[in-house]
Copies of this chain bind each other. A is one copy, B any other.
Amino acid sequence: MKITYKGDYALKAMLELALRYEENSDSIIPINEIVKFGDMPKKFLEQILLTLVRAGFVKSKRGSGGGFYLARSPKDITIGEVIRLIEGPIEPIACVKEGYHGCADVRTCILRNVWQEVAQGISVVVDTITFQDLVGRYKAKTRSSSYEYII
């Protein structure tokens, strides 16, 4: 029932890329700008971005003037996809792990059913929110928070 920093950083990085994608879908974002946006350790973020690249969410360009950018439109990527990539399955089940045989009789295991219901509850949220949605929420928030400053 927890998200690791790795997942947190991955989502923030994707959000930054999505924000920039909205501005200009061709722009390439150097890692330093992503670091700045999310206040993340650069070297750790490199690893995470590499994972995102290999999974096909992000593309990278090497060399001077290089950086990262979204491989697909933010509206076609849900946060659930990224969470699953980084954190593994959302099912909070222990018994599927290697070397654990679970209940003597799986058919009588009601906990597994509970975990399935929990997973569904999580899925309803994370599999319906796209990064475009996040961008929208972000903009709404920053706008209203600017008002607060002014007023």
Any chain B CB within 8 A of the CB of A64?
no
> Looking at the complex, which one of B8, B111, B114, B141 makes contact with A125 (CB distance below 8 Å)?
B114
B94 near A7: Cβ-Cβ < 8 Å: yes
Q: Provide the residues of chain B in CB contact with A115, threshold 8 Å.
A: 3
CA distance A5 to B99 in the complex (A): 13
Q: Provide the residues of chain B in CB contact with A38, threshold 8 Å.
A: 103
A111 near B145: Cβ-Cβ < 8 Å: no
Q: Provide the residues of chain B in CB contact with A122, threshold 8 Å.
A: 1, 118, 121-122
B83 near A145: Cβ-Cβ < 8 Å: no
Given known contacts A134-B110, A145-B107, A2 and B92 CB-to-CB distance under 8 angstroms: yes
B1 near A90: Cβ-Cβ < 8 Å: yes
A110 near B138: Cβ-Cβ < 8 Å: yes
CA distance A118 to B108 in the complex (A): 28
Q: Provide the residues of chain B in CB contact with A103, threshold 8 Å.
A: 38-39
Instruction: Mark interface residues in A73-84 (1 if CB within 8 Å of B CB, else 0).
Output: 000000100010
| Interface of chain A residues 130 through 146 with chain B (CB within 8 A) | 134, 137-138, 141-142, 145
Q: Provide the residues of chain B in CB contact with A88, threshold 8 Å.
A: 1-2
Instruction: Mark interface residues in A97-125 (1 if CB within 8 Å of B CB, else 0).
Output: 00011011101101101110110011011
Q: A3-B93, A110-B138, A114-B126 are known contacts; what are 13 more A-B pairs with Cβ within 8 Å? A: A1-B1, A1-B83, A1-B92, A2-B88, A2-B92, A3-B94, A11-B111, A38-B103, A39-B103, A108-B142, A110-B137, A114-B129, A122-B122
